[in-house]
Amino acid sequence: MLNADAIREGNRGRVVGGSAAALAALLAVLLLVVTSCGGTGDSAASTQDGKDGKEQKKEVPKGPSEAIVKIAPKNGADDVATTGALKVTAAQGKLTKVTVKDDDGTRIPGKIVKKGAAWKPERHLMTKTEYSVHAVAEDAEGRTSAEHTSFTTIVPADTFIGYYTPDDGDKVGVGMPVSVRFNRPIADRESVEKALSVKADPGVKIEGHWFGNNRLDFRPEKYWKAGTKVTLNLHLDGVEGANGVYGTQHKTVKFTIGRAQVSVVDAKKKTMTVLRDGKKIKQVPISAGAPATSTYNGKMVISEKHEVTRMNGDTVGFGGEYDIEDVPHAMRLSTSGTFIHGNYWAGKATFGSANTSHGCIGLFDARGGGDKSTPAAWFYDNSLVGDIVEVKNSKDETIQPDNGFSGWNMDWEDWTAAP
């Protein structure tokens, strides 16, 4: 290090200005230069920056992690419940990674909660399935610990399934709900409903409504838009629908909404106006229910189509009043027996002038249904399961929402109300 004598000898042996104050100032500058150019000062840069000026990674202390990972159920357990039994927690640290897979290698979705203290699955597990769990936690010093277990879920003695409508790949009308009928009464309706999801593209809000303990229907507030693609996911496998009764289905169903067709029947005028995408495409004469056996009012959905079918009054409470073996172009509108169908046994003049049926809507037709020029044949060929047929001005009551797919007669508030 330079001293005062050396400084005095500088600049040809003279101190510029010669004053003590100038000498002190020059000494201070030289000290700063020496320190900043590799001296041993404890500046922030010398302790935090590496050779390239970037922050150095904190060194993790050696030794075992203090974090403790716990997984329930224990390794090798069987007959494990599908809900509530799987628990992953961390003490004296926090979880950083949890992976749960079934025996097919499919990951079970879940999330780390409680600031890393626990992991929660997003849905129930499936029955008769082996699961593996791998969990990693980190303590305050960054040291990690891990646990790995596997277990097998319960094999239920009693099961239930849901029969769904529409089928996979169907093209249906704008009034078609997603309907699931269960073969066993459902006690825990909330859990079962959570295990079913219905999504649409383009998106629209869809809500479910229970009709008793065996049927759950889904629909949007208004009719589906033409061209909508709908997906039903059934994650029922592992759901305890009733005490000791578990679902067994894990399935995806996709269907498409066709063009928008709504046919309006005026029972008083004895006509039906067919609207396609909001435009009138045809009006045909009809014969609705006779005064003593009038047709229901309200919005009904075509749920079945039969080119020819038998209609027997015994099956719907009319005794032996009729038994017609070859009713052509028949389309079901209600569970209780309301159809819109071809009629060859009444004279052509009946249609548009008299209501003569036992509650069905009749259109003029030829016996056997082979004449494609008749109103009944035309309507049959131009209808989809899921199309709406709305009856007005009948002297009967409005059809009940659970009679067929008649839920459109409920307003949205009632449809979405808690059961």
Active-site residue list = 341, 360
CB environment 256-286: b (16+ within 10 A), e (fewer):
bbbebbbbbbbbeebebbbbbeeeeeebbbb
Phi-psi region of 248 (alpha: psi -120 to 50; beta: other; left: phi over 0): alpha
User: Which residues pair with residue 99 across a beta bridge?
Assistant: 134
Residues in the chain: 419
Cβ atoms of 250 and 197 within 8 Å: the answer is: no
CB 204 within 8 A of CB 243: no
CA distance 82 to 125: 5
C-alpha–C-alpha distance, residues 1 and 7, integer Å: 11
What whole-number distance in Å separates Cα of residue 42 and Cα of residue 82?
Answer: 60
End-to-end CA distance of the chain: 91
Q: What single string gives the DSSP state of each residue in 376-406?
A: HHHHHHT--TT-EEEEES-SSPBPPTTTTT-
Distances (CA, A) of 112 to 25, 104, 122, 231: 62, 23, 11, 29
Cα–Cα nearest to 294, from 222, 361, 386:
361
Q: In sequence order, which residues have a C-beta less than 8 Å from that of residue 295 and are 6 or more positions away?
A: 265, 267, 288, 289, 338, 355, 357, 359, 360, 361, 391, 394, 396
CA distance 118 to 130: 22
DSSP bridge partners of 149: 133
